[in-house]
Amino acid sequence: MTSGAGGLGAYLEVLRTGSAVRPFAAAVVARLPISMVPFGTLLLVEETRGSFSAAGLVTAGYAIGIGVGSPMWGRLIDRHGQARLVAPTVLVSAALLAAFALAAEALAPLALLLVLVVVAGATAPPISSAMRLSWRSVLPERLWRTGYALDASAVEAVFVGGPLLLSLLLHLPPAGPLLVTAVVHAVGGLTYAASEPARRPPERTAALDGALGAVVDADPLRRASRVLTPPLVAVLAVGLAMAVAFGFVDTSMAATARAVLGDESRLGVLLASIAGGSVLGGLLYGLLPHSGDERRRLPALLAAFTAGLAGVAVVVGAGAPLPLLLPVLFLTGLCIAPALIVQQALVDSVAPEGRRGESQAWLATAVVTGGAGGTAAAGLLVDLGGPPLSLAAGSAALSVATALALGAQPGWSRSARRAAALDAG
């Protein structure tokens, strides 16, 4: 196992690598719509229809579309390369997003809006898994982990910067913010697809030969079973449970700003605090030396996140003022990006050769699905017991994720030993 580069010098070395920084910058822009679209959709549909229930339904449609489409595009990227898939899909997704914005402003039927937004999500390319392949192709192995940490921290920043950017566009006509979002999506995606790493040929894909290979490739269930091995399913289960907690946090923070702090404008500050902690945590984690048993860190990170969210529930339940709540949120966020970095590394370690793009896309699907489910369930709990109950439920979901990560250790260890034996052979 190669030792990872440590210290700030590793980040400087990555940032001095032009073939890595150019696609990374484009990937950050292309992923801004991940956070801009849900916020923009919610505001647009609520403004034009006066219904938060309709707005929530349509917003969930985009997440469902991404969850359905990501594994398919990830598999095709593994097989045909990044540029050939990212460029056309991002254009289709951006065009559908623009059509949705115009249709919503024109008060089109809700069914049409749902179709447009679901397909817009389903055609969005999996930029995060594609970028992970680019890191591997342009950086020496000792810097892969540093690149992953930088990327994970950037994604956390996207979830803060996207809504802030969208809020600056609210002076435009109702459809304007999402139309700008569609342009950002297309420009970022096309710029990424034109980068040199994205135009490289794909890794060798593990395949079955002869008639058996033809049967497996014709059957989507058998195709999935080749990727969804027990060690990978264990990672996906942990990611799903963790993402459920994300959904509880988002909804709980919105309810806290309104019901506890009495000012909905404080929501941005609350989310920025926990996301800011996550960004710093990811960057600091990237400075740590690589460990061959990094998987053992995951339960500890999840347990710390569990305790932190439980603390947030106590602080919110006590009606504590904002100056006390913000540092608690920041400290809670410190474990988020590191936990995601470890999960992504685990996916790479258990994925079949040539199927890492598809495997990472499955992790993205688990996270999106869990987040959408957590958001929906949190709304019910907020109505029943307020933000403290919803936050406590999020902490409980993280307890499940921690237990799953502990239980999966033997399987992940065996998978690591098999991979090491194959490398040695």
- pLDDT tens digits along 301-322: 999 999 999 999 999 999 888 8
Q: For a pLDDT cut of 90, what percent of the chain falls above it? A: 35
> Is 337 a member of any domain?
yes
pLDDT tens digits, 402-425:
999 999 999 888 887 776 665 555
Q: Do 148 and 76 share a structural domain?
A: yes
What is the distance between the alpha carbons of residues 158 and 338, in angstroms, rounded to a whole number?
16
Q: Do 374 and 315 share a structural domain?
A: yes
Residue range 386-404: average pLDDT? 95
Q: Do 425 and 284 share a structural domain?
A: yes
pLDDT tens digits, 13-45:
888 888 888 999 999 999 988 878 887 887 788
> Is 317 a member of any domain?
yes
- Do the beta carbons of residue 377 and residue 393 sit within 8 Å? yes
Buried b / exposed e over 54-74, threshold 16 CB at 10 Å, is bbbbbbbbbbbbbbbbbbbbb
Confidence of residue 6 (pLDDT cuts 50, 70, 90): low
Per the structure block, which two tokens stand in for 90?
């991002």
pLDDT reported for residue 423: 53
pLDDT reported for residue 381: 85
pLDDT reported for residue 246: 87
> Looking at per-residue confidence, does 7 or 287 come out higher?
287
Fill in the amino acid letter for 242.
Answer: M
> Is 211 a member of any domain?
no
Per the structure block, which two tokens stand in for 165?
């950017």
What is the distance between the alpha carbons of residues 293 and 412, in angstroms, rounded to a whole number?
10
Number of folded domains that form the chain: 2
Coil, strand or helix at 113: helix
* Structural domain span for residue 67: 18-201
Q: Nearest-CA neighbor of 352 among 190, 174, 205, 200?
A: 205
pLDDT reported for residue 189: 95
pLDDT reported for residue 395: 96
What is the distance between the alpha carbons of residues 381 and 37, in angstroms, rounded to a whole number?
25
Q: Do 141 and 189 share a structural domain?
A: yes
Q: Do 294 and 147 share a structural domain?
A: no
> Looking at per-residue confidence, does 311 or 279 come out higher?
311
> Looking at per-residue confidence, does 207 or 8 come out higher?
8
What length is written for the chain?
A: 425
What is the distance between the alpha carbons of residues 421 and 423, in angstroms, rounded to a whole number?
5
> Looking at per-residue confidence, does 105 or 212 come out higher?
105
> Is 8 a member of any domain?
no
> Looking at per-residue confidence, does 217 or 416 come out higher?
416
Q: Do 195 and 344 share a structural domain?
A: no
Confidence of residue 329 (pLDDT cuts 50, 70, 90): very high
pTM: 0.75
pLDDT tens digits, 49-96:
877 567 778 878 888 898 888 888 888 888 888 888 999 999 999 999
pLDDT tens digits, 235-263:
999 999 998 998 888 778 878 887 888 87
Average pLDDT value for the chain: 83
Poorest-confidence range of 90-94, 172-176, 222-226?
Answer: 222-226
pLDDT reported for residue 225: 47
Q: Nearest-CA neighbor of 302 among 252, 351, 250, 244?
A: 244
pLDDT reported for residue 216: 34
| CATH number of the domain where residue 297 is located | 1.20.1250.20
> Is 214 a member of any domain?
no
Q: Do 229 and 148 share a structural domain?
A: no
pLDDT reported for residue 422: 58
Q: Do 230 and 110 share a structural domain?
A: no
